[in-house]
């Protein structure tokens, strides 16, 4: 770098003001060029007619300055006066009439980047910490910082101590110049004024001193320079010393501040790498910390409005994972984008290198990487580690950007090597992809996996090719698809490109920077706690709970509305609660039930249902807060046609659900049972007043890892396909699948036609890799399809889902007609079962809608309960009698099914009407749903009402029984089909006549009890005799 004299411009290579650039050009000014740059090269990159993104210009500048791809995210483009920054996707248009000037600068600073306890790049446990900056970036940071220092753009305290520090920095600077120029300090001091190396404000202050004072200062600087002349430190060390001293001298040097309007007053937003986002009232030194970067869940930008019309102002909303919100208003779009790009960039550097918060600031290269499942410029060690974590199977590969070249990609491929006694060093003469293919140095084994690397290049026209091969492709996907089918050969080994390992959400690699003073991020989720004595939840005394009306039932629980009573300071409080009572017949699942309670008790989020505790008395009861409007799917079915549920309403509900699941994802907790019936509606919302709806996600219940396949099949399409084949594989991607199905359910009015299919049809749906019918809204359909991708690794993280929902909210969805439950047109070859009715099958009852009321009767083999079938959840459903078995062994279940078939086949006024069946626990639990008759069984009715019943009424009952048996069995059936009586009948012993029974009626009984079957009357004869008795003796009373 050329030495700076007192009048030398602050940015090297500039002969005039930045504003004097030529018309029709875009000029990018650099603080430093790479050492290998041509001697006559200037520090200005000039671009003529065309369009350029800010990121494209940054890449060109990085190449000119020797900055490697891994450090490229630290840089950005600033305006000429350094008052604002451009987002990476800002589009510059170069025209004839105007010129533009931007400055290439390091924007993202990490304090304590050098020295003990320094910030460093994330590394493998066995590796040494890698520095945040390499030498080319340190050179550039030095040039940039020196320019800011001399130009007075740094906030410095010019006290006597501060002035001494500035003069010390000037001495260091002149000593560096002497080292680089191979001159003595005296020579440098004689041709360069020390004033050219100090801040302009200090220079002006020194100029105001007397001649003797100025001379004394100059003499002391000369003496200091001579004393340090024997220092053997090279230029790099002196630059490091200069930067570290300058960092100590500056006040909040790694911080940016923005003026904005808060909800109540003007505020200043502060953003820094070490503390995240904070704010203060304008003019106040007191700061309120809002969040660190990894805690951010969502950032959105929307246009402000005044008096119903849009204005230039922009509202930026930052939402934390705990749903705390910071909403500020910026005066212009440019300032809002500058702020959001800063937060977005810091998030990628500290939390997730492959995520962006909103389309408005998304880096174009990152969008390409997401589309191509490509990693950033991670090192080969992390690529190999990722392949090992994925199973290290032959054909697995990682696509990543080259750490050395902006225009190259690397394929790291897992191969298999056979047994061998030795392994020769790799050569680079193999075909067809030499010299771009090489062996990645990894632990060598006698047999097992090996890892090879292939180089992919990209030219300025956007064509891709493998190094060493002439064939070119239009896209990376085309290249990988072609060689995936044809195969590759490298180092004498055949390479298969079968399965790509894409970047995972918040995946750790050397692209992340671990800040000093911040805890090292966990590299793997904690193991779940399964031991009951390790579970944590608040225990509730069973005596403090009062059970109220039934709200339904699940596969393993009965759900009631209840009251929880508490006492505090001699005062009693009553809290409405929901009681989820574990069915005593499912004790084997109680551990999983309590584990769900333990997990929920340790979580706190406004979109998660509050768990009051667990009661462990006679029954295991989970006590939760009572949610007024109940399950979301029932609400949608009730209100879809009333105009309450608009597209905006549905999007707000979906976004709140995504917030809850994002919170769980950050905690590395898998819910595993996401569906609309698990989403409870706390507040309906009111579009007129601007009040949005409010939902809460309920507990997952018994984990799918302990369920049988029949139950899992019942949960199609909410259960992820990989969990159906292996429930133990339950992981975070399963919730993304469940969210996609729930989103489809929300926009179909709470209906899910596929859930009504037979189990075999549901299995075929998954086996055929089919998709739910695509809604008419293409962007919504694309989001659902991404969530319900059959490859778990391809499903987006919930931060990305929130971002996509934001784009739906800000789109012109109001122009779309409301999506009705039937507004789902089948895709070609994706809905293989024809039209499935949206309405519920009348013969199939959902267990959750059966609300228990009372027990009607109980026998040795089963029981009958009175329930209300209430699919709308508003107590308007019909009353039904539900019969179920006490035990569901294979034989008893078979007999029960036969009984149901017989009843289903009989349709008569004198037979209890068949309503349908209800399955639970997959298809293993079966219940018979019948019409409810308030008077109950005839025997008990007669016992209760005998005194007031006439003989004619009793004969009517007998005649109806005869008529029905006659219809059931037909007149041709022989009498022997009537059940044989007990052994005592052989002795001609019969029951006595009931009290008050007419002699004629008792005679009919005796004829039916004849010991010889042939002597018993047929039902035709019985019907005639009973009818004759009714006509002749109807007025006689017993």
- Counting residues of the chain whose pLDDT is more than 70, the rounded percentage is 82
87 and 337 Cβ atoms separated by less than 8 Å: yes
Tell me which DSSP letter residue 477 carries: H
Question: How confident is residue 417, by pLDDT bands cut at 50, 70 and 90?
Answer: low
Lowest mean pLDDT among 399-408, 423-432, 624-633: 423-432
Q: Is 457 exposed, middle or buried (0-12, 13-18, 19+ CB in 10 A)?
A: middle
Q: Using the predicted structure, report yes or no on whether residue 16 has a pLDDT greater than 50.
A: no
Q: Using the predicted structure, report yes or no on whether residue 1038 has a pLDDT greater than 70.
A: no
The token pair at 71 is 């450090």
Q: Which residues of 558-578 are buried (b: 16+ CB within 10 A; e: fewer)?
A: bbbebebeeeeeeeeeeeebb
Gap between the Cα atoms of 813 and 560, Å rounded: 39
What pLDDT sits at residue 7? 37
- What average pLDDT score do residues 389-403 get? 93
647 and 776 Cβ atoms separated by less than 8 Å: no
766 and 772 Cβ atoms separated by less than 8 Å: no
The top-scoring range by mean pLDDT among 68-77, 462-471, 577-586, 689-698 is 68-77
- Residue (of 329, 168, 211) closest to 260 by Cα position: 329
Q: Using the predicted structure, report yes or no on whether residue 95 has a pLDDT greater than 70.
A: yes
pLDDT digits (tens, 9 = 90+) for 761-796: 999 999 999 999 999 999 999 999 999 999 999 999
What pLDDT sits at residue 966? 53
Instruction: Report the length, in residues, of the chain.
Output: 1038
To the nearest 10°, the Cα dihedral for 568, 570, 573, 578? 60
Q: At what angle do helices 798-809 and 778-787 cross, to 10 degrees?
A: 170
Query: Residues with Cβ < 8 Å from 872, sequence gap 6 or more?
Result: 634, 637, 638
- What average pLDDT score do residues 603-617 get? 91
What pLDDT sits at residue 443? 43
pLDDT digits (tens, 9 = 90+) for 913-929: 888 888 876 666 788 89
The top-scoring range by mean pLDDT among 517-526, 602-611, 655-664, 816-825 is 655-664
Q: Using the predicted structure, report yes or no on whether residue 503 has a pLDDT greater than 80.
A: yes
Query: Residues with Cβ < 8 Å from 603, sequence gap 6 or more?
Result: 663, 664, 667, 669
- Residue (of 471, 506, 829, 875) closest to 666 by Cα position: 506
699 and 672 Cβ atoms separated by less than 8 Å: no
Question: How confident is residue 655, by pLDDT bands cut at 50, 70 and 90?
Answer: very high
What pLDDT sits at residue 923? 67
Gap between the Cα atoms of 260 and 271, Å rounded: 13
Q: How far apart are the first and last CA of the chain?
A: 124
Domains and CATH numbers, the chain: 18-249 (1.20.80.10), 255-362 (2.30.29.30), 374-500 (3.30.505.10), 532-625 (3.30.200.20), 646-680+708-825 (1.10.510.10), 844-931 (3.30.200.20), 943-1033 (no CATH)
603 and 669 Cβ atoms separated by less than 8 Å: yes
Which of 512 and 438 is assigned the larger pLDDT? 512
pLDDT digits (tens, 9 = 90+) for 118-139: 788 998 887 888 889 999 999 9
* Three-point CA angle 786, 792, 793, nearest 5°: 90
Name beta bridge partners: 303.
314
Q: Using the predicted structure, report yes or no on whether residue 81 has a pLDDT greater than 70.
A: yes
Q: Is 154 exposed, middle or buried (0-12, 13-18, 19+ CB in 10 A)?
A: middle
The top-scoring range by mean pLDDT among 483-487, 656-660, 823-827, 916-920 is 656-660
The token pair at 546 is 């009062």
Tell me which DSSP letter residue 814 carries: G
Q: Are strands 325-330 and 266-272 parallel, antiparallel or unpaired?
A: unpaired
Name beta bridge partners: 91.
53
Q: What DSSP string runs through 892-953?
A: HHHHHHHHHHHHHH---TTSPPEEEEEEETTTTEEEEEEE--TT--HHHHHHHHGGG--HHH
What pLDDT sits at residue 591? 87
The token pair at 633 is 């799917």
Gap between the Cα atoms of 13 and 1, Å rounded: 10
pLDDT digits (tens, 9 = 90+) for 299-337: 999 998 887 778 899 999 999 998 899 999 999 999 999
The token pair at 524 is 């793997």
3-class secondary-structure state, position 857: strand
**E-assigned strands of 402-474?**
408-417, 438-439, 448-458, 464-466
pLDDT digits (tens, 9 = 90+) for 809-818: 876 554 444 4
pLDDT digits (tens, 9 = 90+) for 956-1003: 667 666 655 555 555 444 444 344 444 555 666 777 888 778 888 888
Q: Using the predicted structure, report yes or no on whether residue 92 has a pLDDT greater than 90.
A: yes
Gap between the Cα atoms of 132 and 513, Å rounded: 7
Other C-beta atoms lying within 10 Å of the C-beta of residue 311: 12
**Helix (H), strand (E) at residue 200:** helix 200-207
What pLDDT sits at residue 572? 84
Residues placed in the known binding site for ATP: 884
What pLDDT sits at residue 779? 93
- What average pLDDT score do residues 446-450 get? 62
pLDDT digits (tens, 9 = 90+) for 154-193: 888 778 888 888 898 988 888 888 888 888 888 888 888 8
Which of 493 and 412 is assigned the larger pLDDT? 412
What pLDDT sits at residue 91? 96
What pLDDT sits at residue 947? 67
Query: Alpha helices of 152-258 — where are they, by DSSP H?
Result: 160-181, 185-191, 200-207, 211-227, 235-249
Q: Using the predicted structure, report yes or no on whether residue 277 has a pLDDT greater than 70.
A: yes
Residues placed in the known binding site: 884
**Helix (H), strand (E) at residue 167:** helix 160-181
What pLDDT sits at residue 576? 92
The top-scoring range by mean pLDDT among 238-242, 445-449, 795-799, 842-846 is 795-799
Q: Using the predicted structure, report yes or no on whether residue 698 has a pLDDT greater than 60.
A: yes
- Computed over every residue of the chain, the mean pLDDT equals 82
Predicted TM-score (pTM) of this structure: 0.80
- What average pLDDT score do residues 856-876 get? 78
Question: How confident is residue 823, by pLDDT bands cut at 50, 70 and 90?
Answer: very low
Measured CA to CA in angstroms, residue 628 lies from 173, 450, 836, 1025 at distances of 70, 59, 32, 60
What pLDDT sits at residue 797? 95
What pLDDT sits at residue 116? 54
3-class secondary-structure state, position 882: strand
What pLDDT sits at residue 716? 94
Gap between the Cα atoms of 353 and 503, Å rounded: 9
């Amino acid at each position: 770098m050329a030495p700076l004299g007192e009048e030398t411009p602050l940015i090297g290579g500039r002969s005039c003001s930045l504003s004097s650039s030529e018309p029709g050009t875009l000029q990018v000014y650099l603080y430093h060029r790479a050492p290998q740059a041509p001697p006559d090269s200037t520090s200005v990159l000039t671009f003529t007619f065309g369009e350029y993104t800010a990121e494209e210009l940054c890449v060109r500048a990085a190449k000119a300055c020797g900055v490697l791809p891994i450090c490229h995210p630290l840089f950005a483009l600033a305006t000429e006066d350094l008052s604002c920054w451009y987002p990476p996707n800002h589009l510059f248009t170069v025209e004839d009439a105007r010129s533009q000037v931007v400055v290439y600068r390091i924007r993202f600073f990490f304090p304590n980047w050098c020295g003990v306890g320094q910030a460093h790049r994330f590394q493998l446990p066995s590796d040494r910490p890698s520095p945040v900056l390499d030498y080319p970036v340190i050179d550039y940071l030095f040039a940039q910082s020196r320019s800011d220092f001399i130009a007075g753009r740094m906030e410095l305290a010019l006290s006597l101590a501060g002035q001494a520090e500035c003069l010390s920095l000037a001495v260091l600077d002149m000593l560096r110049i002497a080292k680089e120029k191979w001159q003595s300090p005296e020579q440098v001091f004689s041709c360069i004024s020390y004033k050219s190396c100090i801040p302009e404000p200090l220079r002006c202050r020194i100029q105001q001193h007397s001649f003797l004072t100025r001379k004394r200062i100059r003499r002391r600087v000369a003496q200091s320079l001579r004393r340090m002349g024997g220092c053997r430190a090279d230029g790099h060390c002196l630059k490091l010393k200069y930067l570290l001293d300058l960092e100590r001298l500056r006040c909040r040097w790694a911080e940016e501040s923005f003026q904005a309007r808060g909800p109540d007053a003007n505020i200043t937003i502060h953003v820094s790498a070490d503390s995240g986002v904070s704010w203060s009232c304008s003019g106040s030194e007191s700061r309120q910390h809002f969040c660190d970067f990894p805690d951010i869940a969502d950032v959105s930008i929307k246009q402000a409005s005044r008096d119903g019309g849009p204005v230039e102002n922009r509202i930026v909303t930052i939402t934390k994972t705990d749903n705390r919100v910071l909403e500020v208003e910026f005066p212009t779009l440019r300032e809002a984008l500058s702020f959001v790009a800063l937060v977005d960039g810091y998030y990628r550097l500290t939390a997730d290198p492959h995520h962006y918060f909103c389309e408005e600031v998304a880096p174009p290269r990152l969008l390409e990487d997401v589309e191509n499942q490509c990693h950033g410029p991670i090192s080969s060690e992390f690529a190999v580690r990722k392949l090992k974590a994925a199973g290290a199977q032959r054909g697995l590969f990682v696509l990543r950007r080259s750490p050395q070249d902006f225009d190259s990609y690397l394929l790291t491929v897992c191969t298999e090597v056979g047994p061998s006694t030795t392994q020769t060093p790799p050569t680079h003469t193999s075909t067809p992809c030499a010299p771009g293919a090489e062996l990645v140095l990894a632990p060598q084994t006698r047999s097992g996996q090996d890892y090879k690397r292939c180089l992919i290049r990209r030219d300025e026209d956007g064509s891709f090719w493998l190094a060493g091969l002439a064939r070119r492709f239009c896209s990376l996907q085309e290249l990988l698809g072609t060689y995936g089918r044809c195969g590759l050969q490298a180092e004498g080994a055949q390479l298969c490109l079968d399965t790509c390992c894409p970047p995972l959400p918040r995946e750790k690699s050397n692209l992340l920077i671990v800040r000093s003073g911040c805890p090292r991020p966990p590299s793997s989720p904690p193991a779940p706690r399964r031991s009951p004595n390790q579970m944590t939840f608040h225990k509730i005394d069973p005596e403090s709970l009062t059970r109220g009306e039934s709200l339904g039932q699940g596969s393993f629980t009965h759900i009631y509305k209840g009251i929880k009573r508490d006492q505090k300071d001699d005062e009693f409080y009553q809290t409405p609660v929901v009681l989820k009572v574990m069915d005593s017949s499912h004790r084997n699942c109680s551990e999983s039930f309590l584990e769900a309670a333990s997990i929920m008790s340790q979580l706190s989020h406004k979109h998660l249902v509050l768990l009051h505790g667990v009661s462990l008395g006679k029954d295991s009861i989970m006590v939760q807060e009572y949610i007024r409007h109940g399950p979301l799917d029932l609400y949608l079915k009730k209100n879809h046609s009333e105009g309450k549920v608009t597209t905006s309403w549905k999007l707000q509900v979906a976004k709140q659900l995504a917030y809850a699941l994002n919170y769980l994802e950050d905690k590395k907790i898998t819910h595993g049972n996401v569906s609309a019936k698990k989403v409870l509606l706390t507040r309906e919302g009111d579009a007129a007043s601007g009040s949005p709806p409010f939902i809460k996600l309920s507990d997952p219940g018994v984990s799918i890892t302990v369920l049988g396949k029949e139950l899992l099949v019942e949960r199609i399409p909410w259960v992820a396909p990989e969990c159906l084949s292996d429930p133990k594989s339950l992981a975070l991607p399963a919730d993304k699948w469940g969210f996609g199905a729930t989103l489809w359910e929300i926009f179909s009015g709470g209906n899910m036609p596929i859930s009504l299919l037979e189990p075999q049809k549901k299995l075929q749906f998954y086996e055929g890799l089919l998709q739910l019918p695509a809604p008419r809204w293409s962007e919504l359909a694309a989001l659902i399809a991404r969530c319900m991708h059959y490859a778990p690794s391809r499903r987006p993280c919930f931060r990305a889902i929130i971002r996509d929902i934001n784009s739906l909210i800000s789109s012109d969805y109001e122009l779309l007609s409301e999506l009705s439950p039937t507004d789902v047109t089948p895709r070609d070859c994706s809905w293989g079962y024809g039209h499935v009715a949206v309405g519920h099958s009348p013969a199939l009852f959902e267990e959750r809608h059966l609300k228990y009321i009372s027990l009607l009767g109980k026998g040795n083999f089963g029981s009958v309960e009175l329930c209300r079938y209430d699919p709308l959840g508003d107590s308007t459903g019909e009353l039904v009698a539900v019969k179920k078995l006490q035990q569901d062994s294979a034989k008893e279940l078979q007999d029960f099914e036969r009984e149901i078939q017989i009843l289903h086949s009989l349709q008569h006024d004198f037979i209890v009407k068949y309503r349908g069946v209800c399955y639970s626990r997959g298809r293993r639990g079966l219940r018979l749903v019948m019409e409810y008759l308030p008077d109950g069984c005839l025997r008990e009715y007669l016992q209760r009402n005998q005194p007031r019943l006439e003989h004619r009424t009793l004969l009517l009952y007998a005649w109806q029984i005869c008529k029905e048996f006659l219809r059931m069995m037909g007149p041709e059936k022989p009498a022997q089909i009537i059940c044989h009586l007990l052994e005592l009948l052989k002795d001609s012993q019969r029951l006595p006549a009931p009290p008050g029974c007419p002699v004629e009626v008792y005679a009919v009984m005796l004829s039916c009890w004849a010991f010889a079957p042939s002597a018993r009357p047929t039902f035709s004869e019985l019907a005639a005799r009973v009818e004759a008795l009714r006509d002749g003796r109807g007025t006689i009373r017993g």
